[in-house]
């Protein structure tokens, strides 16, 4: 179906018919037969045999891979979105996927992503000035900076909420299965499925709270008598909120590293590490709570008899080695609980976590380039999901997929792609196949079947089995 054939009248290419008959072809192959994706992509490109001025013509037939906006209203159901969610980094090393990613990244992905990062960078600088450098300043400039930071956070939160409403209304959601028949699946907008977006959404709300809580705090400080040190002291709760916000905002600076391919692979590896750590940490917390409840019932000395919260706090300190003295003078049952807890957490779960991280990182390091491209592809799909349909159609039309692509001067072939003049070094690529068009030069008719390449045996062909085989008694 993906072979390109030609006779004296026209070219024949089944790509368009294939995707029209099976619009979910990429999704089905990625889920059921991922090994066939490479063969599918091989049939979506053509290389010229001749070198002209040190360049080789390469046609990439990526119209269906790009995704027609009206047919893929939910961008995450487009071929690139499906491959990103499938988390198969090796497919992004194929030349077809590299060109598709390059087209989307250069047309809208890079511009929108850099614009968003600049906006967040300004918020970060304003927050650092107003809430860190001028933390206890009551000067007018400091108050203006805090107000501007709170205003920018309010605008950001409003836009993010608008994106959530739009995705929920347009069906761009992910369903998290509850696993219980009586409990419905949790519907989450795709914007929040990205941990970085969730962190930005929470940090925007915390920034707003910081700005207005800080203003009310400073106002009360002005009216109160000056402390002996002469420096106003704010409430501890306001400082805690500011500290947590600072961690959230500064950690999000890691996203800027995606602009570098090498750092994008490292960022993806960090994300995988955080995901594995969160899964193990959830189990560890459950185990710690269970043993904290046991220590509370036993009324063990050392803070265990003051309630579940105090017991959990002491258990955590013992598990990480910050308060080992509490485990010395315990009665037999309490000591047994602490010993079992230490063995389960420090020897069991932590070693499992280390083993998982080693396996995950070794797998990622073997395909760093593919992971970097997949990470960037995720950003492209996410940026495209923010775009209105009119702008998506404009970007699609600018690609010129309706124009036929030339195989040679004045030799126009099928449409549905883009042509690139690549350096002659492309001929050393494993995927280089010179002029894969199958041509038939004889008389042809649209009603005739295509000639087969199978060699037919005729009467003149020697029959080796009959003539040369020894007789068997």
> Model confidence over 391-440: pLDDT tens digits?
999 999 999 999 999 888 878 889 999 999 999 898 999 999 998 988 88
- pTM as predicted: 0.75
Distances (CA, A) of 100 to 4, 41, 60, 368: 21, 11, 9, 19
Among the residue ranges 145-149, 210-214, 383-387, 432-436, the one predicted with the least confidence is 210-214
The pLDDT score that the predictor gives to residue 286 is 83
Quote the DSSP letter at residue 374. Answer: H
CA–CA distance, 129 with 135 (Å, rounded to integer): 8
Phi and psi angles of residue 408, each rounded to the nearest 5 degrees, phi first = -160, 175
Question: Could you give the percent of the chain with pLDDT greater than 90?
Answer: 24
- Under the banding of pLDDT at 50, 70 and 90, the label for residue 465 is very low
Please provide the DSSP assignment of 170-213 as one string: HT-EEEE--S-TTSPPEEEEHHHHSHHHHHHHHHHHHHHHHHHH
Q: Angle at the Cα of 61 (from 58 to 67), degrees rounded to 5?
A: 140
What's the average model confidence in pLDDT over 76-98? Answer: 88
Please provide the DSSP assignment of 313-341 as one string: HHHHHHHTTS-GGGGTS--HHHHHHHHHH
Q: Which residue has the higher pLDDT, 349 or 196?
A: 196
CA–CA distance, 310 with 304 (Å, rounded to integer): 6
Largest interatomic CA distance in the chain: 121
Q: Report the DSSP beta bridge partners of residue 423.
A: 55
The pLDDT score that the predictor gives to residue 340 is 75
Instruction: Indicate if the pLDDT at residue 60 is higher than 70.
Output: yes
Instruction: Indicate if the pLDDT at residue 63 is higher than 70.
Output: yes
| Burial 412-430, CB ≥16 within 10 A → b, else e | ebbebbbbbebeeebeeee
What stretch of H or E contains 164?
helix 140-170
The pLDDT score that the predictor gives to residue 66 is 93
Q: Helices marked H in 10-139 — which ranges?
A: 15-21, 25-32, 37-42, 63-66, 79-86, 95-104, 110-127
Instruction: Indicate if the pLDDT at residue 17 is higher than 80.
Output: yes
Among the residue ranges 77-86, 183-192, 264-273, 451-460, the one predicted with the least confidence is 451-460
CA–CA distance, 165 with 172 (Å, rounded to integer): 10
SS3 letters across 219-279: HHHHHCCCCCCCCCCCCHHHHHHHHHHHHHHHHHHHHHHHHCHHHHHHHHHHHHHHHHHHH
Within 8 A by CB and 6+ apart from 303, the residues are 310, 311, 313, 314, 326
Average of per-residue pLDDT values in the chain: 79
What's the average model confidence in pLDDT over 15-40? Answer: 90
Burial class (CB in 10 A: 0-12, 13-18, 19+), 190: buried
Distances (CA, A) of 276 to 35, 84, 172, 269, 446: 26, 19, 26, 11, 58
CA 215 to chain centroid, in Å, comes to 38
What's the average model confidence in pLDDT over 156-160? Answer: 93
CA–CA distance, 473 with 470 (Å, rounded to integer): 10
CB 5 within 8 A of CB 11: yes
Phi and psi angles of residue 9, each rounded to the nearest 5 degrees, phi first = -105, -40
Selection from 150, 170, 161, 6 nearest residue 74 by Cα:
170
What's the average model confidence in pLDDT over 64-81? Answer: 89
CB 44 within 8 A of CB 19: no
The pLDDT score that the predictor gives to residue 320 is 66
Number of H helices, E strands in the chain: 18, 10
What's the average model confidence in pLDDT over 12-24? Answer: 90
258-288 pLDDT, tens per residue? 777 777 767 776 766 777 777 777 887 888 8
Count of beta carbons in the 10 Å neighbourhood of residue 272: 18
What stretch of H or E contains 215?
helix 195-223
Burial class (CB in 10 A: 0-12, 13-18, 19+), 395: middle
């Amino acid at each position: 179906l993906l072979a390109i054939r030609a006779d004296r009248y026209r070219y024949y290419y089944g790509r368009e018919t294939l995707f029209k008959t099976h619009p979910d072809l990429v999704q089905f192959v990625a889920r059921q037969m991922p090994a066939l994706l490479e063969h599918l992509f091989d049939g979506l490109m053509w290389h010229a045999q001749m070198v002209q001025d040190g360049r080789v013509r390469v046609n990439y037939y990526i119209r269906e891979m790009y995704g027609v906006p009206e047919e893929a209203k939910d961008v995450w159901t487009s071929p690139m979105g499906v491959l990103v969610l499938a988390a198969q980094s090796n497919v992004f090393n194929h030349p077809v996927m590299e060109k598709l990613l390059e087209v989307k990244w250069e047309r809208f992905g890079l511009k929108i992503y850099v614009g968003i990062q600049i906006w967040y960078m300004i918020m970060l600088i304003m927050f650092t000035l107003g809430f860190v450098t001028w933390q206890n300043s009551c000067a007018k400039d400091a108050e203006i900076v805090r107000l501007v930071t709170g205003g920018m956070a309010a605008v950001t939160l409003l836009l993010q909420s608008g994106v959530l409403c739009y995705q929920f209304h347009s069906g761009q959601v992910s369903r998290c299965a509850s696993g219980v028949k009586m409990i419905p699946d949790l519907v989450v907008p795709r914007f929040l499925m990205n941990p970085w977006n969730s962190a930005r959404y929470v940090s925007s709300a915390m920034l707003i709270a910081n700005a207005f809580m800080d203003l009310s705090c400073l106002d009360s400080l002005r009216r109160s008598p000056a402390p002996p040190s002469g420096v106003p002291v704010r409430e501890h709760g306001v400082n805690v909120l500011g500290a947590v916000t600072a961690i959230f905002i500064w950690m999000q600076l890691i996203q800027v590293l995606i602009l570098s391919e090498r750092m994008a692979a490292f960022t993806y590896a960090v994300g995988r590490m955080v995901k594995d750590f969160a899964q193990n940490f959830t189990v560890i917390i459950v185990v710690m709570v269970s043993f904290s409840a046991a220590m509370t019932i036993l009324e063990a000395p050392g803070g265990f008899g003051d309630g579940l919260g105090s017991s959990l706090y002491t258990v955590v300190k013992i598990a990480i080695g910050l308060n080992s003295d509490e485990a010395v003078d315990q009665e037999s049952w309490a000591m047994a609980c602490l010993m079992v807890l230490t063995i389960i957490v420090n020897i069991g779960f932590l070693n499992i976590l280390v083993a998982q991280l080693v396996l995950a990182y070794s797998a990622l390091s073997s395909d760093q380039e593919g992971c970097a491209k997949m990470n960037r592809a995720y950003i492209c799909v996410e940026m495209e999901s923010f775009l209105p349909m009119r702008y998506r159609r404009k970007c699609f039309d600018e690609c010129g997929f309706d124009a036929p692509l030339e195989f040679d001067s004045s030799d126009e072939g099928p449409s549905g792609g883009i042509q690139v003049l690549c350096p002659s070094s492309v001929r050393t690529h494993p995927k280089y196949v010179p002029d894969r068009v199958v041509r038939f030069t004889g008389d042809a008719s649209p009603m005739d079947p295509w000639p087969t390449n199978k060699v037919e045996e005729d009467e003149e062909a020697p029959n080796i089995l009959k003539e040369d085989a020894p007789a068997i008694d």
